[in-house]
Structure 1
C-alpha cells in the first residue's frame, strides 16, 4: 500500500505540472491592479506587435530629445567654428573703415566684406574674395601720388559711382601733361599670406585721347628690393571703357612682408598726353 500511495502522489504531481505549463499563472487575490494592467498591455502588444516599437521609440525620444538637441547644436557650432576662416588681419584693417561694420555674426560680417568696405575716407576699398577668403584691395586715385595732380590746369577730379553700389569715388582725369608719373604704396601685411596676387592699374582712355604712341612703364618694387618693370602700349587699348593694365604678380611670403611701391610713368617720349582717367590700383588674388 505504501507503493500505491507513492504512485498516486507522483501522478498528482505530473498532472499539476501539465496544468501549469498549459495556462498562464493565476494572480492571487492580493495581486495589485497595476500588475494586472501591465498584463493587459502585454496582451495588446502580442496581438499587435507593430505597435510596440512605436510606443517605445516615442517614449525614448520624449525623454532624450532636449539633451540630443543640445548636443547636436553644440557639435554643429563647433564644426562651424572649425570651418569658418576669418580673414587675415581683418580687425586691424577695419579700424580704418569709413562706417561701422556689423560683427554680430559671421554671416553678417562676411556679407559686408564680400561686398566691400571703404577705408580712409574712400581712399581705399577692402573686400574678401568669396571662394578662398583672400583679402583684396583697391587703392583709389586719391590714395595715389600723381605729379601735378593738384594743379587744375593738368588734372581734374570728377566723381563716379563705384561699380556695384551707390557710393561715388573721385577719379583723376588727365587734361594734358607730357610728364606722366603716378605712384602708390601699400603694406603687404594686410594681404592674405601664401597667396599669389596680381596688381593692375584700372584706367580708361577718354576721347579725345592722344599722346599714347610711346608705351608707358609700369613697375612694382617688393619689400625685399626686387623691382619688376615692363612697358604697356595704351595706344591700342579700347576707348571709353574701364580697362586693366597689368603690373606684376607676386606671392605673399615672410620675405615679402612690408611696403610695396607700384608705379606708372612716361616722360621720355616728349609727347603731350591727354584723356587718361585713373580709377586706381587693384591688388587681388590671382585666379
Structure 2
C-alpha cells in the first residue's frame, strides 16, 4: 500500500475516533442534563408538598383560632338552654340583651337573668313557687299582684294575720354558674300599719351537703312600704355539683300574731 493511502486511512480512523469521543461527550452531557432536571423536579415537588403542608397547617391554625375566638366571644351562660326550656315565651338566644333584662319561667313562678358583671346566672323564686304554711287559706294570707319594672304583673303573698310564720323554698344548684360565690336573700316589705314583729324572725340556708347557715333578723328596724332584702346565707358553687339549696324564713315560737308582711320571693344571685 502506498504511503498516501496509509495516511488517508489514519486520517479516517482519527476522524472516527474524534466523532466517537464527541458523541460520548454529548451523551454524557445529555444524561447529566436529564439527571439534573429530575433532581430539580424532585426538589420542586418536595417544595410544593412542603408549601401545601404549610398552607394546610396555616389554614388549620386559622380555623382553630377562629373557633377559639368565636367560642370566647360567644361565652354563653351556664346551662342556659336547659333553663330556657321553662321560659314562658320564645327567647332570641342570638342576643344576650334579653337574658340581661330577665326571662319569666314556669308561668311567672320564677325569673331568670344573667348578671353582667360576673356573667353568672341569677334567679328570683317568686312567692308562688315557695311553700308557705297556710298560704292558700284566705283567713291568713292574701295574694295581691304588683307590677315589675318590665310592666309584667306577678303575684306576691301578704300576711293578713298569722301566729305561725313559715316559708320554705329550694333550688337546683346545677343551674347556678360554677366558680361563683352566691347569696340567697328574701325580698319582703312591711306595710304600714304592721304589727307582731317585736320578736326577730329566723332565716336559714341549707346546702346540698347538709351544712346549715342560720341567723336572726330584726324586722322592727326595717323601713315601711319599701322592698328590703333579708340575707339567708351564701355559698360557693362547685363544678359538677348536684342537689338543692334550701332556704327558710320563719318565726312561730314567740306566739305573737303578725300582720302586714309582703313576700315577693327569694333571690339567688352572685354575691354583691
> Structure 1-normalised TM-score?
0.70
Tell me which residue corresponds to 2:113. 127
Deviations 1:256-285 (A, max 9, x none): 531111000100001010000000000000
Q: Aligned to 1:93, which of 69, 83, 92?
A: 83
> 1: CA distance between counterparts of 2:178 and 2:91?
23
Q: Which of these two proteins has the greater Rg computed from alpha carbons? A: 2
1:271 aligns with 2:256: yes
Confirm or deny: 8 A CA contact 2:185 2:230 kept in the other structure.
yes
Tell me which residue corresponds to 1:227. 212
Deviations 1:105-126 (A, max 9, x none): 2xx2x11100000000000000
> 1: CA distance between counterparts of 2:239 and 2:120?
17
Partner SS, residue 268 of structure 1: coil
Task: Report the aligned-residue RMSD.
Answer: 1.9
Structure 1 runs, 4 residues or longer, greater than 2 Å off = 72-84, 254-257
Q: Aligned to 2:136, which of 146, 150, 153?
A: 150
Aligned length: 211
Tell me which residue corresponds to 2:190. 205
Tell me which residue corresponds to 2:199. 214
Tell me which residue corresponds to 1:138. 124
1:54-203 equivalence runs, <5 A = 79-103=69-93, 105=94, 108=95, 110-162=96-148, 164-203=149-188
How far did residue 84 of structure 1 move? 2.6
How far did residue 235 of structure 1 move? 1.1
> 1: CA distance between counterparts of 2:252 and 2:140?
15
Residue 83 and residue 254 in structure 1: after superposition, are their counterparts in 2 closer, same or farther (change >3 A)? Answer: closer
- The answer for unaligned runs of 5 or more in structure 2 is 1-61
- The answer for unaligned runs of 5 or more in structure 1 is 1-71
How far did residue 82 of structure 1 move? 2.3
Tell me which residue corresponds to 1:249. 234
Deviations 1:108-157 (A, max 9, x none): 2x111000000000000000001221000000000000011001111110
Deviates more, 1:77-86 or 1:205-214: 77-86
> 2: CA distance between counterparts of 1:99 and 1:136?
18
Confirm or deny: 8 A CA contact 2:174 2:240 kept in the other structure.
no
